[in-house]
Chains A and B, each alone.
Chain A
Amino acid sequence: MDIHNLTIKSFREGIQKKEFSSEEVTQEFLKNIEKNDPSIGSYISVFKNEAINEAKQADNLIKKADKTSFLTGVPLALKDNLVIEGTKTTAASKILESYNASYTATVIEKLRKEHAVFLGKTNMDEFAMGASTENSAFHTTKNPYDTSRVPGGSSGGSTAAVAGGFALAALGSDTGGSIRQPAAFCGVVGMKPTYGTVSRFGLIDMASSLDQIGPITKSVEDAAILFDVIKGKDPRDATSVEGNYTKELLNPDFNKTKELTIGIPKEYFIEGLSEEVKKGMNVAIQKFKKLGISFKEITLPHTKYALSCYYIIMPAEVSTNLARFDGIRYGREKTNTKTLRDIYFETKGKGFGTESKRRILLGTFVLSSGYHDAYYTKAQKVRRLITDDFKKAFEDVDVIFAPTTPTTAFKIGEKAKDPLSMYLSDIFTVAVNLAGLPAVSIPVRKYEIGKSGLPVGFQLIGKHFREQDILSLGMLYEKN
């Protein structure tokens, strides 16, 4: 068994044919983590003993052959902003360095019901704020394709783990591209579901009107399998909704898929798109055309305002969400001062990294008296225009095609000192979050570490609750 080529689908087949057990596969992953992850840094914590125990339990269930599912015994990695009762959850922040969660995220409970195996928690930008994992308080994750480059972010630990053979699949979270951008940089599949389809209960909040948990996998088919398990309305997340999904989510009728029309928004093929990415987009479009998919040029006229709109709304929500880390209920800085007020200032001043402080202050600014209307309300109005652009476009087409990122993975340190250039890495991904749409990033072709250049990814954006459309097109693409 070669863990690098294993998918959830082929793992299931191997298990059923008794070619290997979950414990054997889990051991292989743990061995590879121990040997090779130190040079990549995907993980913040590894659950060695727990993972082996979970795998043994899964194997027992498999032996009895009752009620096992696609995910039984599958070794997964989890982004470290998902809480598990009794375990460390840091969100890659110094402020939560010693935090032990007192409850368990809904997505984790759902995966436990399927008897998935949890290998550990992955690195990320602090509180999911960044596009490179360089904002982690602990270490920078490296891109398995080129260790001098970033894996993307903020779910860079999860995408590096899947690309590097340190997990069969993973969960990430996407607020402005944090699943899709690192998936594109690491040559894996990453999907941000429709806002509300996956419960956010137990996800450490960043920007609540934008955050969604989603799958990071080696194939589109695997992404569908993982999404199918984690979705669903949850009474503990009032914004969660029950989408109307059918069996076709997992078993699409490809004849129907071929009838879908893909729109190409001219605003996404602009100056600043690197030659490699441009080439990749042409390869993908030509392949879809050969498969009989028809394309149509569309326009999303407010695209150029999306990044500004996002970088006003997101920090505003961040500044309120992160206010709770004030040294009272979670970690506290040791301080000689005695008043509550001083504890707030000291704990936040020492506990938050530079990017967190920057966004908290930016959010405080756009919400402050005198600036609220000019920035925050203005951005909320622009958010409507951006959402309406998509609505109009979806009257003519079923799915929208776009590059996931303007460039391939950049060098570690290249953008770390210039926040605006780092923010520009999100230029093709943020509009989807503002509009609450589902989108999946798919590698243009099969990449092999050490043998091919840097990965390029394209995005398929769907209508609300139409994950089925983007996933079936993606499956068609990867099967041919």
Chain B
Amino acid sequence: MISKDEIKRLAELARIKIEPLEEEGLAHDFENILGYFDELKKLNTEDILPITGGTENKSVFREDEEIEDGFNKDLLINQFPESEKGFLKVPQIFSNDDE
């Protein structure tokens, strides 16, 4: 049902490097897990509205003012693998091949 190519496609979408050995294992796991989900297909849900949570979601309003978020800016920046003058630094986005 799920091929190794499909696993490759999903890994590409999720931006995760998957080793060839992992691909096989994952394809096998997906087969079992998606097979288990088949039970849901038997259930008629045509007129049922989907929900996003168990408790009733009500719109919440508050004053439009700054909230004390408690973030330590220096510690936050310290966690960046690369930073410059307090800014987050990222490597080039396009490789030379793309130019």
Listed in ascending order, the chain A residues whose CB lies under 8 Å from chain B are 85-86, 99-104, 109, 194-196, 209, 235-236, 238-239, 241, 302, 304-305, 307-309, 311-312, 319, 323, 326-332, 338-341, 343-346, 348-350, 352, 354, 357-358, 360-362, 364-365, 368, 375, 377-385, 387, 419-420, 423, 433-437, 464
Q: A346 contacts which chain B residues (CB < 8 A)?
A: 17
Given contacts A86-B75, A339-B93, 5 further A-B contacts (CB under 8 A): A307-B36, A308-B36, A340-B91, A433-B54, A436-B55
Contact B81 A332 (CB under 8 A): yes
Contact B81 A101 (CB under 8 A): no
- Taking CB as reference atom, which chain B residue is nearest A368? B13
Which of B22, B37, B52, B67 has the most A CB atoms < 10 Å from its CB? B37
Contact A348 B60 (CB under 8 A): no
Q: Which of A304, A319, A339, A436 contacts B95 (CB 8 A)?
A: A339
Q: A341 contacts which chain B residues (CB < 8 A)?
A: 15, 93, 95
Residues 37-54 of chain B, each 1 if its beta carbon lies under 8 Å from chain A, else 0: 101100101001111111
Contact A419 B33 (CB under 8 A): yes
Report 18 cross-chain contacts, Cβ distance below 8 Å, ordered by A residue: A85-B75, A102-B71, A102-B78, A103-B69, A103-B71, A194-B55, A195-B55, A305-B39, A305-B43, A307-B36, A311-B37, A326-B15, A339-B93, A348-B17, A361-B14, A379-B40, A381-B51, A384-B48
Within 8 A of A (CB), among B9-37: 10-11, 13-19, 22, 25-26, 29-30, 32-33, 36-37
- Taking CB as reference atom, which chain A residue is nearest B50? A380
CA–CA, A339 and B91, complex, Å: 6
Question: For chain B, which range describes its interface: under 10, 10 to 19, 20 to 34, or 35 or more residues?
Answer: 35 or more
Q: Which of A101, A326, A330, A331 contacts B75 (CB 8 A)?
A: A101
Contact B91 A235 (CB under 8 A): no
Q: Which of B37, B49, B54, B80 contacts A435 (CB 8 A)?
A: B54
- Taking CB as reference atom, which chain A residue is nearest B70? A103
Q: A102 contacts which chain B residues (CB < 8 A)?
A: 71-73, 75-76, 78-79
Contact A328 B81 (CB under 8 A): yes
CA–CA, A327 and B90, complex, Å: 10
Contact A85 B67 (CB under 8 A): no
Question: What are the 9 A-B residue pairs with the smallest beta carbon separation, nearest first?
Answer: A436-B54, A349-B17, A380-B50, A102-B75, A102-B76, A436-B55, A332-B81, A381-B45, A344-B15
Listed in ascending order, the chain B residues whose CB lies under 8 Å from chain A are 7, 10-11, 13-19, 22, 25-26, 29-30, 32-33, 36-37, 39-40, 43, 45, 48-55, 60, 62, 67, 69-73, 75-76, 78-81, 88, 90-95
CA–CA, A364 and B30, complex, Å: 12
- Taking CB as reference atom, which chain B residue is nearest A331? B81
Q: B72 contacts which chain A residues (CB < 8 A)?
A: 85-86, 102-103
Q: A377 contacts which chain B residues (CB < 8 A)?
A: 50
Contact B39 A304 (CB under 8 A): yes
Q: B80 contacts which chain A residues (CB < 8 A)?
A: 328-329
- A339-B92 contact, Cβ under 8 Å, with A362-B33, A423-B33: yes
Q: B11 contacts which chain A residues (CB < 8 A)?
A: 361
Contact B54 A354 (CB under 8 A): no
Q: B30 contacts which chain A residues (CB < 8 A)?
A: 361-362, 365
Contact B45 A385 (CB under 8 A): yes
Q: A311 contacts which chain B residues (CB < 8 A)?
A: 33, 36-37
Q: B67 contacts which chain A residues (CB < 8 A)?
A: 235-236
- Taking CB as reference atom, which chain B residue is nearest A349? B17
Contact B50 A348 (CB under 8 A): no
Q: Which of A328, A332, A352, A382 contacts B45 (CB 8 A)?
A: A382
A73 to chain B, nearest CB (A): 25
Q: A378 contacts which chain B residues (CB < 8 A)?
A: 40, 45
Contact A100 B78 (CB under 8 A): yes
CA–CA, A446 and B39, complex, Å: 39
- Taking CB as reference atom, which chain B residue is nearest A240? B60
B32 to chain A, nearest CB (A): 5
Q: A209 contacts which chain B residues (CB < 8 A)?
A: 52-54
Q: Which of B15, B29, B48 contacts A348 (CB 8 A)?
A: B15
Q: A343 contacts which chain B residues (CB < 8 A)?
A: 91
CA–CA, A238 and B97, complex, Å: 44
CA–CA, A331 and B45, complex, Å: 43
